[in-house]
């Protein structure tokens, strides 16, 4: 554990696992699954995020031309009546778009609930069991999105490196101060710019809202500011670094975009 390459290896592996877990469990990750219809398995992938500049495609690949499809949808969260739209076939693909014309394009943070029903003769199957929720967002420029993602990823990576330095031996101050700088830059400078482009709001966490992404960034940032204060004067502040890292990994284990910005219908 004292060898730097061991500490780096563990830090990278844990950070990658955490990042993949957060991405795959988040509410914007596509809803994936399969249904059985007419003795054949049909795989479906339903998008759960899309740009406000266009209509979200809903597609199902099924070569059997006897299979037809419909999409039920409504604004979320509302008690609107479900609207059913017929899917059209182009070769092996059944398609439609959300919201369907002549409906207007969606606003920033607008959400729709939808599910697909496939029919073959007297058989019909729906997916998913609970309607998928898709959220529309503004386009975020790459010049701010890429640095934001890199700062948050490397912030988690260096937090883990600081943790292993604290428990296994090493300079916690070097990695601790680096972590603090990255999380503050990525979460409190670049993050609000990303949020503004995507949902027309710089901050939707406490005290202005309950966005978990903003609130968990706030918690992680405060924990590292406190750790940085403890590291002043040449102190290693191992306990403060360990606590800050644990807090960071716990809050970032919460799926990304949970309780995120949501249009009020």
Mean pLDDT of the chain: 93
For the cut 80, the answer to whether the pLDDT of residue 260 exceeds it is: no
For the cut 90, the answer to whether the pLDDT of residue 230 exceeds it is: yes
Secondary structure of the chain in HEC code, one letter for each residue: CCCHHHHHHHHHHHHHHHHHHHHHHCCCCCEEEEEEECCEEEEEEECCEEECCCCEEEEEECCCCCCEEEEEEEEECCCCCCEEEECEEECCEEEEEECCCCCCCCCCCCEEEEEEEEEECCEEEEEEEEEEEEEEECCCCHHHHHHHHHHHHHHHHHHHHHHHHHHHCCCHHHHHHHHHHHHHHHHHHHHHHHHHHHHCCCCCCCCCCCCHHHHHHHHHHHHHHHHHHHCHHHCCCHHHHHHHHHHHHHHHCCCCCCCCCCCCC
Closest CA to 202 of 194, 165, 210, 73: 194
Contacts of 115 (CB under 8 A, 6+ apart): 71, 72, 126, 127, 128, 131, 132
State what percent of residues in the chain have pLDDT above 70. Answer: 97
pLDDT of residue 256: 66
pLDDT of residue 257: 61
What is the rounded CA–CA span in Å between residue 152 and residue 184?
9
pLDDT of residue 206: 85
pLDDT of residue 264: 82
What are the structural domains, with CATH classification, of the chain?
4-26+140-252 (no CATH), 54-137 (2.60.40.10)
Q: Tell me the mean pLDDT in the region 183-201.
A: 96
Q: Tell me the mean pLDDT in the region 28-47.
A: 95
Closest CA to 184 of 248, 235, 264, 131: 248
pTM more than 0.85: yes
Per-residue pLDDT reduced to its tens digit, 93-145: 999 999 999 999 999 999 999 999 999 999 999 999 999 999 999 999 999 99
Per-residue pLDDT reduced to its tens digit, 194-216: 999 999 999 988 888 778 788 88
């Amino acid at each position: 554990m004292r060898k730097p390459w061991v500490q780096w290896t563990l830090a990278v592996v844990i950070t990658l696992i955490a990042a993949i877990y957060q991405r795959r469990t988040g509410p914007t990750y596509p809803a994936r699954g399969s249904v059985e219809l007419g003795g054949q398995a049909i795989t479906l992938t339903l998008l759960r995020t899309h740009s406000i500049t266009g209509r979200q495609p809903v597609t199902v690949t099924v070569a059997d031309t006897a299979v037809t499809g419909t999409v039920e949808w409504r604004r979320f969260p509302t008690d609107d009546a479900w609207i059913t739209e017929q899917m059209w076939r182009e070769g092996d693909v059944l398609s439609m778009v959300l919201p369907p014309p002549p409906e207007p394009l969606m606003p920033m943070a607008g959400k729709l609930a939808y599910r697909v029903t496939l029919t073959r003769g007297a058989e019909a199957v729906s997916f998913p069991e609970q309607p998928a929720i898709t959220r529309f967002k503004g386009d975020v420029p790459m010049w701010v999105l890429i640095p934001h993602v890199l700062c948050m990823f490397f912030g988690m990576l260096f937090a883990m490196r600081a943790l292993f330095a604290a428990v296994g031996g090493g300079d916690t101050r070097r990695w601790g101060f680096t972590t603090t700088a990255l999380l503050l830059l990525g979460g409190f400078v670049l993050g609000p710019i990303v949020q503004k482009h995507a949902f027309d709001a710089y901050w939707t966490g406490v005290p202005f809202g309950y966005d978990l992404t903003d609130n968990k960034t706030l918690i992680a940032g405060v924990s590292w500011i406190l750790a940085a204060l403890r590291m002043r004067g040449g102190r290693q502040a191992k306990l403060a670094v360990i606590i800050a890292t644990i807090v960071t990994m716990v809050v970032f284990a919460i799926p990304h975009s949970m309780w995120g910005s949501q249009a009020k219908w």
